[in-house]
Amino acid sequence: MPAAQAAQEEEALSQVAARYAVAITPAMDALIDSADPNDPIAAQFRPRAEELVTAPDELSDPIGDDAHTPVKGVVHRYPDRCLLKLVHVCPVYCRFCFRREMVGPPSPERPRDGMLSGAELDSALAYIEAQPGIWEVILTGGDPFLLSARRVREISARLAAIAHVKIIRWHTRVPVVDPLRVTPDLAEALRIAGATTYVVLHANHARELTEQARAAIARIVDAGVPMLSQTVLLKGVNDDADTLDALMRALVEARVKPYYLHHLDKAPGTSHFRCTIAEGQKLAQALHQRASGLAQPSYVLDIPGGYGKASLASPAMRETETGYEVRDRDGVWRAYRD
């Protein structure tokens, strides 16, 4: 690369780092094939100059968290569940993150503390207690697995003490990106009397499920905590049927049930990762045709503006003049009478 071009690229990456948080763990860095310019792990975590390009329809708050935040740290979008955003930091910063304008260590661009203060947490829990319709609390951030086992145990106990909270769900990237952080103590801290705990793992490529990652997952599952997964559909990372199939099978083999395949949210500087909905539907259909039901996530879109999730799966039934037609696993439409 000519010196002038290299200097220009270095300046662009400096601008990316100034606007968005950048971090990668040793576990993820070790997976990158430096000889492959299209390495799917590098694409997820190493900044690129394309992030400086903001498309007209990209939003700093693409799924409308702010519009549904009654008190700091709580997002209450659905009647029976809410988010509790405990921390604003992560062990890694995904280059496609929908909260990329909000997460990261404090800086002039992100003037915030790393987690909720004691008073802010008290206010958040008081709000949850005052809303008897909240059955499930989803702990997110940032990554809540950055908390110590002691804090995980304490927060779980406080949530379980709220009579109407029956489900506590932790969303995390840690078991794959920093698996040694999942200690036996942390795994045990997730279980709490009075509520049922789930852990939802964010993983986008089968290579993330290293031996250490599988061991971290096993510590959680063996502690009696069921695990689900969520995956973001990303161009250049997992936008082909073989890659998605391998990921979903690897998750199931590790005792993690695929839950969501997310269509990419329109966060600033992420258009280079975006597939079309038609491409996503084709991939979801291919996965349906070749993999067990255990390996089928729901393909969904978080509607911009805070209107919740919508299923993007291609319809498998259509009405006809004489009844219905149902599409089989090979894509052939079959007649059916009700």
Q: Is there a catalytic annotation at residue 318?
A: no
Q: Is 337 a catalytic residue?
A: no
- Residue 309 designated active-site: yes
* Amino acid of residue 210: T
Tally DSSP H helices, then E strands, for the chain. 10, 12
Tell me which DSSP letter residue 273 carries: G
For residue 51, what is the DSSP state? G
CA distances, 38 to each of 10, 43, 258 (Å): 19, 7, 25
The active-site residue out of 61, 143, 178, 302 is 302
- Backbone angles phi and psi of 112, in degrees to 5: -145, 160
Query: Which of 19, 20, 85, 90 does the annotation list as catalytic?
Result: 90
Instruction: Using pLDDT thresholds of 50, 70 and 90, give the confidence band for residue 1.
Output: low
Residue 19 DSSP code:
H
- 169, 198 contact by CB (below 8 A): yes
- In the set 20, 95, 97, 260, the catalytic residue is 97
What total number of domains does the chain contain? 1
Angstrom distance (rounded) from CA 253 to CA 337:
38
Residue 34 confidence (pLDDT) above 70: yes
Question: Model confidence at 104, in pLDDT bands (50, 70, 90)?
Answer: confident
In a domain, 3, yes or no: no
Residue 2 domain-assigned (yes or no): no
Report the C-alpha gap between 135 and 140 in whole angstroms: 16
Quote the pLDDT of residue 108: 57
Catalytic residue among 158, 249, 309, 327: 309
- Residue 1 domain flag: no
Q: What amino acid occupies position 202?
A: H
pLDDT for residue 2: 64
List 265, 274, 275, 299, catalytic entry: 265
Q: Would you report the helix, strand and coil content of the chain in percent, each value rounded to 5?
A: 35, 20, 45
Q: Is 82 one of the annotated active-site residues of the chain?
A: no
CA–CA gap between residue 156 and residue 189 (Å, rounded): 8
Helix (H) or strand (E) holding 263: none
- pLDDT tens-place string over residues 108-141: 555 456 789 999 999 999 999 999 999 999 999 8
Helices (H), the chain: 3-19, 26-29, 40-45, 118-129, 149-160, 174-177, 184-190, 211-222, 241-253, 277-290
Is-catalytic flag, 249? no
In a domain, 248, yes or no: yes
pLDDT tens digit sequence for 47-87: 999 999 999 999 999 999 999 999 999 999 999 999 999 99
Helix 241-253, helix 277-290: angle, nearest 10: 50
**Domain residues for 303?**
13-336
| 144 Cβ contact list (under 8 Å, min separation 6) | 86, 87, 152, 170, 171, 172
Q: Is 53 domain-assigned? A: yes
CA distance 243 to 250: 11
Whether 90 is a known active-site residue: answer yes
pLDDT computed for residue 11 by the predictor: 85
The answer to whether residue 78 is catalytic is: yes
Instruction: Decide: helix, strand or coil at residue 81.
Output: strand
CA angle 9, 12, 16 (to 5 degrees): 135
Answer yes or no: is 4 within a domain: no
Output the DSSP codes for 163-221.
Answer: TT--EEEEEESHHHHSGGG--HHHHHHH--TTSEEEEEEE--SGGG--HHHHHHHHHHH
Check 20, 93, 94, 178 and give the catalytic one: 94
61 is catalytic: no
CATH of residue 227:
3.20.20.70
Smallest Cα–Cα separation from 270: which of 60, 108, 17, 36? Answer: 60
- H or E element at residue 265: none
Residue 102's pLDDT band (boundaries 50, 70, 90)?
confident
**Does the pLDDT value for residue 44 go beyond 70?**
yes
Q: Is the residue at 158 inside a domain? A: yes
> Which residue in 19, 20, 39, 77 is the catalytic one?
77
